[in-house]
Amino acid sequence: MNVEISGLALTLFDGQVESTQSMIRILGLSATLPNYLDVAAFLHVNPYIGLFFFDSRFRPVPLGQTFVGIKTTNKIQQIHDMEEVCYSKVLQQIKAGHQVMVFVHARNATVRTAFGLIEIAKNRGEIGFFQPDQGSDYGQCEKQVKQKKHIL
């Protein structure tokens, strides 16, 4: 395959459909994947019969993409610079009243990036921009969430 897929969360279900008793495989990708044909080839899926994909036409709100170049060759400095730029872009969108979703390239970068952005917000005294509005029913909702043992 032309691209590494280790950072993607793959969900795979193998089983039988009761009405037909035929074997099926359903694969759901949790990220927008421009090379879905490579993934299909890797999984030996016939692209004309067994491959279904949903591109940007199926999104109720289109995704925006921002590409940023980081010039330093020092790996630690690269991570720091990317977090700074990411934070700046996220805060800009939040202040404009938009919701923001940050995609990262690897699963282990998710938590690291989130904590990095939180740390920057705390250090700059801007954490309030990232806290939810506490409307009249906030306390009741918070109590219900704390009572749940498992949240899916």
User: pLDDT, tens digit, for every residue of 24-57?
Assistant: 666 666 555 667 788 788 878 888 888 877 777 7
**Band of the pLDDT at 10, cuts 50, 70, 90?**
very low
Angle between helices 75-95 and 107-123 (to 10 degrees): 70
Which pLDDT score is estimated for 42?
80
For residue 131, which amino acid is it?
Q
Residue 10: other Cβ atoms inside 10 A: 13
- CA-to-CA distance for 72 and 84, rounded, in angstroms? 14
Q: Is this model's pTM higher than 0.75 or not?
A: no
Top-confidence residue, 122 or 101: 122
End-to-end Cα, the chain, rounded Å: 32
Q: Among all chains, which residue has been given the structure tokens 């950072």? A: 7
Q: What is the pLDDT of residue 21?
A: 54
For the stretch 71-97, pLDDT in tens is 899 999 998 999 999 999 999 999 998
Cα 28–5–24 angle (5° rounding)?
A: 35
pLDDT at 125 over 70: yes
